[in-house]
């Protein structure tokens, strides 16, 4: 008899290792570098890392966030991404069990983690994630919730609504408020989650975006232009919608049936 804690522990450990790979994506995709080659190296002195410097979270902690040879600081974002990915895998397992939908949702969350950090650090939402994401989300919906119809409408609504907002903002203000990266990200979210949850994602993202924007103005930390990029809010909104959105939209649309 296998103890009940084995599977959640395995989810955590496996998630931490996947988080390590996500860190590679986060560093290399915005720089146009290959994911497969070369192996992990110090980004400062270029020395190849040995196996014990590649252990998720633990290596960063034991080396106190510095390269062993050149002593260059290693961003705290690395262990954070590994820990968040580990918790994502655990959360996916607890919410969905070991099901096909659970695996798809965890894959979706991994894409969101990469996009959140690249948007935060470089204001880039790499096409290498969003475009395949749109296709994978739609193909998975042929067999799984939300179903291909909801997915297709979600893709069109997500991409279309944001495209209209971006275009309108540009015409009125004469400067770009939202990039095409945000449009592709929302189309990807729509493809994975369907049109109801993509609308909920927009609500979550706008709501949290306004709170942070107001807080930044109130604390005189700069105006809205320097606020966090919108893609980071979309990523968080989508993660919340994927995990807990279904009861909310069922409750909301229940009134009209």
- Contact residues: Zn ion, CB under 5 A: 42, 44-45, 67, 70, 72
Provide the 10 A C-beta neighbour count for residue 45.
12
Secondary structure class of 148 (helix, strand, coil)? helix
Secondary structure class of 42 (helix, strand, coil)? coil
Which is closer to Zn ion, CB of 70 or CB of 215?
70
> CB of 47: closest distance to Zn ion in angstroms?
5
Q: What beta strand segments (E) does 19-147 contain?
A: none
> CB of 65: closest distance to Zn ion in angstroms?
12
Which is closer to Zn ion, CB of 43 or CB of 210?
43
Running DSSP on this structure, what letter comes out for residue 174? Answer: S
Phi, psi (deg, nearest 5) at residue 125: -115, 95
Contact indicator for 151, 138 with CB cutoff of 8 Å: yes
> CB of 46: closest distance to Zn ion in angstroms?
7
Joined together, the tokens standing for residue 119 give 């948007």
What Å distances lie between residue 198 and 47, 80, 190, 235, 243, CA to CA?
43, 26, 5, 11, 13
> CB of 145: closest distance to Zn ion in angstroms?
46
Which is closer to Zn ion, CB of 24 or CB of 216?
24
> CB of 17: closest distance to Zn ion in angstroms?
22
Which is closer to Zn ion, CB of 44 or CB of 206?
44
Which is closer to Zn ion, CB of 53 or CB of 150?
53
How many Å is the maximal CA-CA distance in the chain?
66
């Amino acid at each position: 008899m296998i103890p009940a804690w084995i599977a959640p522990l395995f989810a955590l450990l496996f998630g931490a290792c996947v988080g390590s790979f996500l860190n590679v994506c986060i560093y290399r995709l915005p720089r146009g570098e290959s994911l497969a080659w070369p192996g992990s190296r110090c980004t400062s002195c270029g020395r190849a890392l040995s196996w014990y410097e590649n252990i998720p979270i633990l290596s960063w902690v034991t080396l106190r966030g510095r390269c062993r040879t050149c002593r260059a600081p290693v961003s705290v974002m690395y262990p954070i991404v590994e820990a968040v990915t580990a918790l994502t895998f655990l959360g996916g397992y607890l919410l969905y069990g070991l099901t096909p939908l659970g695996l798809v949702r965890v894959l979706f969350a991994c894409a969101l983690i990469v996009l959140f950090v690249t948007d935060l650090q470089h204001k880039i939402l790499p096409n290498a994630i969003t475009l395949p994401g749109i296709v994978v989300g739609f193909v998975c919906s042929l067999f799984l919730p939300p179903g291909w119809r909801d997915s297709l409408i979600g893709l069109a609504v997500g991409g279309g609504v944001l495209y209209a907002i971006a275009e309108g903002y540009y015409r009125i203000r004469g400067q770009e408020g939202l990039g095409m990266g945000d449009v592709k990200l929302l189309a990807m979210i729509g493809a994975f989650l369907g049109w109801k949850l993509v609308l909920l994602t927009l609500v979550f993202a706008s709501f949290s975006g306004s709170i942070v924007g107001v807080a930044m103005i109130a604390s005189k930390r700069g105006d809205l232009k320097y606020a966090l990029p919108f893609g980071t809010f979309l990523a968080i909104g989508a993660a919340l919608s994927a995990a807990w959105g279904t009861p909310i939209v069922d409750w909301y649309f229940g009134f009209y049936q």
